[in-house]
């Protein structure tokens, strides 16, 4: 039985109740609060302090694990791999090791700020190439919302058309200058007709929105120590400044629907297990592509035995990510990666084309992360000591070129997240159970990426290209709340409103029907802002 919140200062109701204080939920909250709407944001996890995260990073033995500086709480656990906390229940056949953060600010505490728009063709892959599904909205509809998202997030990028996504206005900030390393790669690849572009990124190239200019601390992920990179935590500050109330450690575990499917309330538990009920006129679920479907699926009732918003049976299904591969080599020239932000450029040639009928499209990224710890570790393992070790660290660190691919995975119903029937967290809430397979479409794309890794290595004078084994996830969880015009084949409509509940909107990467080749945050924010405007127009 839920109580009303006890504190006089804790609202029991708001015009709009948002579940999840990540980048999307916070910017939805900000937009509505600015318009004078009362907004309450319920966040399962705690508040984090930037300096503490930086210190945790410096102190951890697991510097390559982006989750290490973000230890999970007992009441709102999230995946942890060093050591594994057994949160995600992996049912295979492939593991899907998502690394999301349940905290005020959400997972963009540890992103690299890549803030991409889709290509116009990305919204129509079924019509054009006979694969995946088409979106119920097109690029032109989304363009103004992309721009609003770029302004709110503070995106710097090239406005010269090189990225392939038409713009009505230039980026809010000029692009980050390429590092010497990225620029030389660009020059060497251009000789063979390959096109490297500067990535658009939510990272300041000038002081912006109260945050400083990036000065190249080379630690974008797991934490930008100076706040030059936009995060959900900055979004939360903006939302609170606009008047939204953000309640941390409020773990929503039930969404309550009334007659005609109207959502009446959400119920949350505090860390001690006490339940509270919060009512509202509109509800926005913005708890990422895993926790949102999980919450909907555990919100069962007599009226909604399959959970909230799940008349289609598709909540949690169609899980897609950018399945990733990687490679590195030592080029001929010392280029000194590690100067500036951790990622600045990518190959823009494999993101679209008729080949998408046959294999996954690819974004091929160049890492500008400083490699010296990794190089030292490898050399010590090889047996180097003393001055030979130091000489090799310097030489190899100056010449290492590291690449990764994002492969577009197409939606398959069987790839899904469901609440575990057996595994529960400390509050008794089911843990997410993941079913995940990687199909031949992606594997053929990986083979193409591999050819390009080798070709780039040859162009840069490498004697050997070292290919990573297996596939990596990239925490871009899409498809699990898929958007469409047909309520039988999708969870939300073109405004991300639930087909089943007139006052329920979903704001998450999960609503994206396909994942294209680019990082998903900007698109999720653009869709969220559009949903916020729709809610505002109805209040």
Q: Known catalytic residues?
A: 476
Distance (Å, rounded) from C-alpha 114 to C-alpha 279? Answer: 36
User: C-alpha dihedral over 519, 524, 525, 531, to 10 degrees?
Assistant: 170
Burial 422-434 (b: 16+ CB within 10 A, else e): eeebebebbbbbb
- Applying the rule CB under 8 A, the residues between 176 and 205 that interact with other proteins are 176-180, 183, 205
Burial 301-329 (b: 16+ CB within 10 A, else e): eeebeebbbbbbebbbbbbbbbbbbbbbb
Closer to other proteins by Cβ: residue 50 or 298? 50
Residue 175 beta carbon to other proteins: minimum distance, rounded to whole angstroms? 11
Residue 69 beta carbon to other proteins: minimum distance, rounded to whole angstroms? 11
Q: Does 432 bind other proteins (CB under 8 A)?
A: no
- Applying the rule CB under 8 A, the residues between 435 and 464 that interact with other proteins are none
Q: Does 12 bind other proteins (CB under 8 A)?
A: no
Closer to other proteins by Cβ: residue 151 or 245? 245
Closer to other proteins by Cβ: residue 50 or 91? 50
Quick one: which of 303, 394, 413, 424 contacts other proteins (CB under 8 A)?
394
Distance (Å, rounded) from C-alpha 435 to C-alpha 95? Answer: 8
Closer to other proteins by Cβ: residue 205 or 292? 205
Q: Does 393 bind other proteins (CB under 8 A)?
A: yes
Q: Site map for other proteins, 275-304, x if CB under 8 A?
A: -x----------------------------
Q: Does 504 bind other proteins (CB under 8 A)?
A: no
Q: Does 92 bind other proteins (CB under 8 A)?
A: no
Contact 200, 171 (CB under 8 A): yes
Q: In the chain, how many H helices and how many E strands?
A: 11, 18
Closer to other proteins by Cβ: residue 218 or 534? 218
Element (H, E) at 298: helix 288-298
Closer to other proteins by Cβ: residue 272 or 421? 272
Quick one: which of 126, 167, 339, 444 contacts other proteins (CB under 8 A)?
339
- Applying the rule CB under 8 A, the residues between 396 and 415 that interact with other proteins are 397-398
Distance (Å, rounded) from C-alpha 75 to C-alpha 400? Answer: 42
The CA R_g of the chain, rounded to the nearest whole Å, is 23
Which listed range, 20-28, 106-114, 386-394, 441-449, lies at the site for other proteins (CB under 8 A)? Answer: 386-394
Closer to other proteins by Cβ: residue 195 or 394? 394
Residue 373 beta carbon to other proteins: minimum distance, rounded to whole angstroms? 5
* Count, residues near other proteins per rule CB under 8 A: 84
Q: Tokens 């309550």 correspond to what residue? A: 256
Closer to other proteins by Cβ: residue 340 or 479? 340
Residue 126 beta carbon to other proteins: minimum distance, rounded to whole angstroms? 41
Contact 69, 56 (CB under 8 A): yes
Element (H, E) at 392: helix 386-399
- Applying the rule CB under 8 A, the residues between 216 and 275 that interact with other proteins are 216-219, 223, 225-226, 240, 243, 245, 247-250, 270-272, 274
Contact 114, 346 (CB under 8 A): no
Which listed range, 390-398, 405-413, 416-424, 507-515, lies at the site for other proteins (CB under 8 A)? Answer: 390-398
Q: Site map for other proteins, 344-383, x if CB under 8 A?
A: --------------------------x-xx-xxx-xxxxx
C-beta atoms surrounding 180 within 10 Å: 14
Q: Does 473 bind other proteins (CB under 8 A)?
A: no
Burial 185-222 (b: 16+ CB within 10 A, else e): bbebbeeeebebbbbbbbbbbeebeebebbebbbbbbb
Name which of 395, 433, 402 is nearest 416 in CA terms: 433
Residue 212 beta carbon to other proteins: minimum distance, rounded to whole angstroms? 9
């Amino acid at each position: 039985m839920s109580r009303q919140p006890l504190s006089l200062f804790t609202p029991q109701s708001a015009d709009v109740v948002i579940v999840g204080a990540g980048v999307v939920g916070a910017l939805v909250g900000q937009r509505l609060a600015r318009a004078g709407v009362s907004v309450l944001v319920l966040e399962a996890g705690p508040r984090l302090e930037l300096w503490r995260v930086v210190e945790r990073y410096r102190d951890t033995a697991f510097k390559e694990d982006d989750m290490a500086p973000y230890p999970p709480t007992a009441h709102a656990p999230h995946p942890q791999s060093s050591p594994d906390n057994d949160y995600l229940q992996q049912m295979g056949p492939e593991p899907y090791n998502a690394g999301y953060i349940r905290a005020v600010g959400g997972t963009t505490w540890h992103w690299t700020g890549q803030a991409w728009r889709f290509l116009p063709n990305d919204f129509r892959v079924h019509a054009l190439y006979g694969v995946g599904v088409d979106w119920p909205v097109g690029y032109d509809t989304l363009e103004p919302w992309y721009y609003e998202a770029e302004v709110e997030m503070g995106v710097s990028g090239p406005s010269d058309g090189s990225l392939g996504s038409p713009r009505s206005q230039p980026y809010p900030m000029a692009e980050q200058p390429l590092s010497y390393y990225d620029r030389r790669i660009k020059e060497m690849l251009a000789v063979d007709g390959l096109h490297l572009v500067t990535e658009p990124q939510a990272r300041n190239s000038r002081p912006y929105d109260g945050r400083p200019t990036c000065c190249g601390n080379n630690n974008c992920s797991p934490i930008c120590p100076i706040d030059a990179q936009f995060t959900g935590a900055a979004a939360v500050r903006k939302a609170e400044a606009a008047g939204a109330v953000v309640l941390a450690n409020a773990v929503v575990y039930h969404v309550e629907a009334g007659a005609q499917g109207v959502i009446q309330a959400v119920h949350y538990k505090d860390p001690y297990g006490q339940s509270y009920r919060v009512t509202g006129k509109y509800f926005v679920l913005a708890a990422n592509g895993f926790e949102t479907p999980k919450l909907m699926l555990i919100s069962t009732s007599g009226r909604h035995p399959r959970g909230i918003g799940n008349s289609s049976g598709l909540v949690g299904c169609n899980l897609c990510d950018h399945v990733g591969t990687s490679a590195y080599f030592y080029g001929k020239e010392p280029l000194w990666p590690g100067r500036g932000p951790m990622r600045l450029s990518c190959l823009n040639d494999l993101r679209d084309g008729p080949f998408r009928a046959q294999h996954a499209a690819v974004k091929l990224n160049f890492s500008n992360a400083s490699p010296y710890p990794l190089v030292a570790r490898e050399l010590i393992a090889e047996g180097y000591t003393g001055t030979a070790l130091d000489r090799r660290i310097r030489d190899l660190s100056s010449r290492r070129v590291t690449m990764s691919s994002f492969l577009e995975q197409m939606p398959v119903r069987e790839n899904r997240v469901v609440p575990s029937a057996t595994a529960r967290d400390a509050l008794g809430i089911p843990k997410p159970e993941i079913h995940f397979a990687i199909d031949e479409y992606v594997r053929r794309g990986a083979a193409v990426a591999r050819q390009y890794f080798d070709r780039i290595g040859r162009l840069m004078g490498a004697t050997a290209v070292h290919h990573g084994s297996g596939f990596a996830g990239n925490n871009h969880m899409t498809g699990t709340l898929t958007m469409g015009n047909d309520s039988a084949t999708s969870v939300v409509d073109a405004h991300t409103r639930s087909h089943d509940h007139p006052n329920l909107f979903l704001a998450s990467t999960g609503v994206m029907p396909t994942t294209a080749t680019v990082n998903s945050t900007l698109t999720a924010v653009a869709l969220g802002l559009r949903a916020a405007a729709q809610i505002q127009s109805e209040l």
